[in-house]
A and B are shown apart, each in its own frame.
Chain A
Amino acid sequence: GDSVTQMEGPVTLSEEAFLTINCTYTATGYPSLFWYVQYPGEGLQLLLKATKADDKGSNKGFEATYRKETTSFHLEKGSVQVSDSAVYFCALVGGGADGLTFGKGTHLIIQP
C-alpha cells in the first residue's frame, strides 16, 4: 500500500537557520503530495501541495518540489522564525483514493 516516510524529530534550529525536512513516499500511479502543519493548540492546516512531477508547491516561505525520480517531497525554508515551531506532516493521496496517507510527523522547534 501507499506509505510516507519522514525524518524523525524533534528538529531544533536557531532562528534564521535553513530548514529541510525530508519526505519520501511509496505509491502506485501518480499521487498528489502535500505538507500539512499543526501549530500548538490548532487543527491541521494545509501548507502546500504539488499534483504532478516537477511541480513546486510554495507558501509562507516554505517550498517543496515533487521529485518522481527520487520519490521525494522535501520541505525547505531559507530562514525559519520562532513562529514556524509546529509539527509538520507529509502526506499523499494516490490515484482513485479518497483518504490521505500521512507520515508520522516532524516536530520542529525554533529557538530565538
Chain B
Amino acid sequence: GAGVSQTPSNKVTEKGKYVELRCDPISGHTALYWYRQSLGQGPEFLIYFQGTGAADDSGLPNDRFFAVRPEGSVSTLKIQRTERGDSAVYLCASSMGHGPKTGELFFGEGSRLTVL
C-alpha cells in the first residue's frame, strides 16, 4: 500500500498477557517512530528508529515495552505483562528524514489496544 500500515487495528487482551503490534512503513522510509495516544491526550513519543537501530528509546515508559526493526523496514512493538493503563491507541509513523525537523512524518491509523 501507499501509506503506513498498522496491524491489528484493534486488539483486546487481558491483564498480564503479551501483545505485539506491527507497523509496515512507507517503502524506502528509513526513519520509523512509535507514539502512544491515550484517551483525550495528544500522541506521546515512545521510540525512534533510523534504519535497524533504535536511535532514541527515551519515551518507552518501562522495561515491559520493547520494539524491534530487524531489517530496517517492518517494526514490531512488544508489550509484556500488559496492564490496564497500557490501553491506548499506538501510532506508527515513518519518514525519509533524520528526525521530525528534516522529514515529514506520515502516520498510520493506529492500533487500538484495550487491556481488560
The interface of chain A, by Cβ under 8 A from chain B, is: 4, 32, 34, 41-46, 51, 89, 91, 93, 97-105
Q: If A44-B91, A103-B42, A104-B41 touch, does A98 touch B107 (CB 8 Å cutoff)?
A: no
**Complex interface: chain B residues within 8 A of A98 (CB):** 33, 45, 48, 55-56, 99-100
**Complex interface: chain B residues within 8 A of A97 (CB):** 99
**Complex interface: chain B residues within 8 A of A105 (CB):** 41-42
User: Which of A93, A100, A102, A105 has the largest number of chain B CB atoms within 10 A?
Assistant: A100
Q: Which of A41, A46, A104 contacts B40 (CB 8 A)?
A: A104
Contact in complex: B107, A45 (CB < 8 Å): yes
Given contact pairs A43-B109, A45-B107, A99-B46, enumerate 19 new A-B contacts (beta carbons under 8 Å): A32-B100, A34-B100, A43-B91, A44-B105, A46-B104, A89-B42, A89-B43, A91-B42, A98-B45, A98-B48, A99-B33, A99-B35, A99-B56, A99-B58, A99-B100, A100-B45, A100-B105, A104-B41, A105-B42
Count residues of B near A (Cβ-Cβ below 8 Å): 28
**Complex interface: chain A residues within 8 A of B107 (CB):** 43-45
Main secondary structure of the interface of B (DSSP, over half): loop
The interface of chain B, by Cβ under 8 A from chain A, is: 3-4, 33, 35, 40-46, 48, 55-56, 58-59, 91, 93, 99-101, 104-110
Contact in complex: A43, B3 (CB < 8 Å): yes
User: Which of B42, B43, B46, B109 has the largest number of chain A CB atoms within 10 A?
Assistant: B42
Q: Which residue of A lies closest to B55 (CB)?
A: A98
User: Which of A51, A99, A101, A102 has the largest number of chain B CB atoms within 10 A?
Assistant: A99
**B3 → chain A, closest Cβ, in Å?**
7
Contact in complex: B101, A32 (CB < 8 Å): yes
Docked complex Cα distance between A103 and B41 (Å): 7
Contact in complex: A51, B3 (CB < 8 Å): no
**A46 → chain B, closest Cβ, in Å?**
5
Docked complex Cα distance between A104 and B93 (Å): 18
Q: Which residue of B lies closest to A90 (CB)?
A: B42
Q: Which of B3, B40, B45, B109 contacts A99 (CB 8 A)?
A: B45
